[in-house]
Amino acid sequence: MSQTITIEVLRYRPETDAEPFFQTYTVPHLEDGVVLDALNYVKDHIDPTLSYRWSCHMAVCGSCGMMINGEPKLSCHAFLRDYGGRVIRVEPLDHFPIERDLVIVMESFIDKLSSVKPYVIPKAEKPIEQGEYLQTPLQLMAFKQYTQCINCLLCYAACPQIALNDDFVGPAALALAHRYNLDSRDGGKGERADVVASNQGIWECTFVGACSEVCPKHVDPAAAIQQTKISASLDWFKARLLPGAN
Partner 1 sequence: MSRRPYVRKVERSWWLAHPRYVAYMVREITSLFIVLYCALLVVGLVRLAQGPAAWEGFVAAVSSPVNVVFQLGCLAFATYHSVTWFAVTPKAMPLVLKGERVPSKTIVAAHYVAWAAVSLVVLVAVGN
CB of 52 to partner 1, least distance (A): 15
CB of 93 to partner 1, least distance (A): 11
Near partner 1 by CB under 8 A: residue from 142, 147, 148, 198: 142
CB of 80 to partner 1, least distance (A): 22
Name which of 158, 172, 160, 188 is nearest 109 in CA terms: 172
Scan residues 104-133 and list those touching partner 1 (CB under 8 A).
Answer: 105
> Given its phi and psi angles, is residue 8 left (phi above 0), alpha (psi -120 to 50 degrees) or beta?
beta
Residue 134 sits in the site that holds partner 1 (CB under 8 A): no
Total binding residues toward partner 1, as defined by CB under 8 A = 32
Binding string, residues 187-226; x marks residues near partner 1 by CB under 8 A: -------------------xxxxx-xx------x-xx--x
CB of 31 to partner 1, least distance (A): 28
In whole angstroms, what is the distance from residue 153 CA to residue 162 CA? 11
- Please name the residue ranges forming H helices in the chain: 35-41, 107-115, 137-141, 154-158, 160-164, 171-181, 189-196, 210-214, 221-241
Residue 70 sits in the site that holds partner 1 (CB under 8 A): yes
Cβ(170)–Cβ(118) below 8 Å: no
